[in-house]
A = this chain, B = another copy of it.
Amino acid sequence: MKVVVKTLTFSTREKFELVNITDEVEKAVSESGIINGICLIFAPHATGAIVANENEKGLIRDILDHISQLFPPGKNWLHNRIDDNAHAHVASSIIGASLTLPVINGKVIRGTWQDVFFVEMDGPRTNRRVIIEVLGE
């Protein structure tokens, strides 16, 4: 068994933003040399999330707008007595900060319309990280 880890670091520019990390995921898997196993994509952040979906400009706006409607920044959150990002914490809890994809025959498996995104919900931030862990053999 082999475990190969790659950590992405990047900045975000907007309060709500999708950062497309698909190429980095593909590259991490192909560089790992692992033929069969899994690829775990994990954001060590309580105000971000990881999702897989289509890289279409209108849809990206739809996803972000809908998140901000389901988890409204302006709600009277208790956590906002000491901070201003409760909406992002609650959204991160429910959407989830990790995604696991199969790795089969040397390729990471995803659908035609499934790019992988980090979801920023409390930006802009200068130091966001995503851990890509490939495990298998």
Number of copies: 3
Task: Categorize the interface residue count of chain A.
Answer: 35 or more
Residue interface mask A85-107, B partner, CB < 8 A = 1: 01001101111111111101000
**Beta-carbon contact of B62 and A101 below 8 Å:** no
Q: Which of A52-97 contact B (CB under 8 A)?
A: 52-54, 56-59, 61-63, 66-67, 70-71, 75, 77-82, 86, 89-90, 92-97
The chain A residues found within 8 Å of chain B, CB to CB, are: 1, 3, 5, 36-38, 40, 42-47, 51-54, 56-59, 61-63, 66-67, 70-71, 75, 77-82, 86, 89-90, 92-102, 104, 109-114, 131, 133, 135-137
